[in-house]
């Protein structure tokens, strides 16, 4: 097995691929699904000529998630933020020492901001849900908009023609998973058949 070389360029490529696969629905609640890992292995090999195994990609996913979480937690702290001009975290040394103890993984961000943040947001933001702005069916409470009405008052919101339906399966064994590049006309036709039947 080749030892993984996660250079900045290789990390940029894998973050882009991970985000693309998450957008296409090839992820579970915590990581990529089987289709997603198979796809990232192949696409990463095509782009870099490097062949890593599933375990190496799973480890990279976990490390990226820890970094993203640390970055977001760091920026939420009072008096902490990123100074674009100086390229450093906005805080004094005493506060920084305290943050390093409280937030594992944040040490690397003192003088270098999180890389690939847009892709990491796609990959992990839903996993960081605090429950403040998301619906949890088991809570029994329906979320309200600021004006107290859900979906602008419509009882049944329709999907836009351009939107992708979310496919729900009873098991995570690969059934019903979407693949990137599915034909939108077939999808629209399937929705019409389901609505009429």
Per-residue model confidence (pLDDT) at position 127: 55
Distance CA 86, CA 115 (A): 17
Residue 43 belongs to some domain of the structure: yes
Residue 185 belongs to some domain of the structure: no
Residue 170: CA count within 13 A, CB half-sphere? 0
Do 63 and 83 touch, CB atoms closer than 8 A? no
Its pTM stands at: 0.64
114-167: per-residue pLDDT in tens?
Answer: 999 999 999 998 754 444 444 444 434 444 433 333 333 333 333 333 333 333
* Alpha carbon 148 to chain centroid, angstroms: 29
Residue 122 belongs to some domain of the structure: yes
Provide the number of structural domains found in the chain.
1
Distance CA 139, CA 137 (A): 5
Residue 153 belongs to some domain of the structure: no
HEC string of 25-78 equals: CCECCCCECHHHHHHHHHHHHHHHCCCCCHHHHHHHHHHHHHHHHHHHHHHHCC
Q: Quick count: other Cβ atoms within 10 Å of Cβ 50?
A: 13
40-77: per-residue pLDDT in tens?
Answer: 999 999 999 999 999 999 999 999 999 999 999 988 88
Residue 23's domain comprises 1-79+116-129
Residue 137 belongs to some domain of the structure: no
Residue 94 belongs to some domain of the structure: no
Residue 48 belongs to some domain of the structure: yes
Residue 184 belongs to some domain of the structure: no
Could you say which DSSP state residue 102 is in? H
- The H-or-E segment that residue 185 falls in is helix 184-196
């Amino acid at each position: 097995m080749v030892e993984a070389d996660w250079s900045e360029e290789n990390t940029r490529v894998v973050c882009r691929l991970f985000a693309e696969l998450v957008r296409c629905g090839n992820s579970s609640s915590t990581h990529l699904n089987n289709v997603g890992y198979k796809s990232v292995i192949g696409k990463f090999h095509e782009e870099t000529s490097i062949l890593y195994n599933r375990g190496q990609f799973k480890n990279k996913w976990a490390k990226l998630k820890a970094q993203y979480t640390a970055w977001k937690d760091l920026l939420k702290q009072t008096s902490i933020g990123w100074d674009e001009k100086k390229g450093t975290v906005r805080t004094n040394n005493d506060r920084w020492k305290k943050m390093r103890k409280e937030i594992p993984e944040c040490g690397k961000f003192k003088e270098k901001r999180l890389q690939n943040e847009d892709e990491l947001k796609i990959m992990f933001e839903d996993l960081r849900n605090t429950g403040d702005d998301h619906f949890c069916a088991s809570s029994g409470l329906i979320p309200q908009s600021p004006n107290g009405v859900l979906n602008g008052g419509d009882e049944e919101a329709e999907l836009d023609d351009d939107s992708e339906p979310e496919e729900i399966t009873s098991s995570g064994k690969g059934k019903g998973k979407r693949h990137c590049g599915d034909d939108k006309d077939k999808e629209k036709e399937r929705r019409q058949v389901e609505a009429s039947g």
